[in-house]
Amino acid sequence: MGLNIAFQMDPLETINIDTDSSFMMSLEALKRGIRCSTTCAPIGAGRQSVERNGPPLHGEARTRRHFAAGAAERIDLGRLDLVMMRQDPPFDMSYITATHMLEHIQPGTLVLNDPASVRNAPEKLFVTISPT
């Protein structure tokens, strides 16, 4: 059984497949035989798990569309090998909640980018702080 990962990213219907780096990473993962799903907010919590609905991805590099997504399925994020947190904010309560929920699956599941770091040092704000 190979790697099983999820990309926490913007909805597939809204991305530019020619320039979206998360989408390009998912295509490469599919080429390498890695099972990929895509998820986007909101995250839910079960009794013992952090869950969300998301479709599995299937590569179709021969066509302009490049991907096919299966029917949405409930994913226990804590049972995955890796969650790639690649969602563009709006830095709203849904986004902040997602970062807190993703912290609960660590260290059993690797989460990249670290949820606490993206919450505590958002890239647009972090670069405006001058060193003292």
Tokens of 69: 């997504």
pLDDT at 61: 45
pLDDT of residue 1: 57
Confidence of residue 43 (pLDDT cuts 50, 70, 90): low
CATH architecture under which domain 4-126 falls: 3-Layer(aba) Sandwich (3.40)
Domain boundaries, the chain: 4-126
Task: Say if strands 35-39 and 73-76 run parallel, antiparallel, or are unpaired.
Answer: unpaired
List, for residues 61-90, the tens digit of each pLDDT value. Answer: 444 455 666 777 777 888 889 999 887 767
β-partners of residue 68 are 58
Q: What is the mean pLDDT of the chain?
A: 76
Q: Is the pLDDT of residue 42 over 70?
A: no
pLDDT at 59 over 80: no
Query: CB neighbours (10 Å) of residue 24?
Result: 13
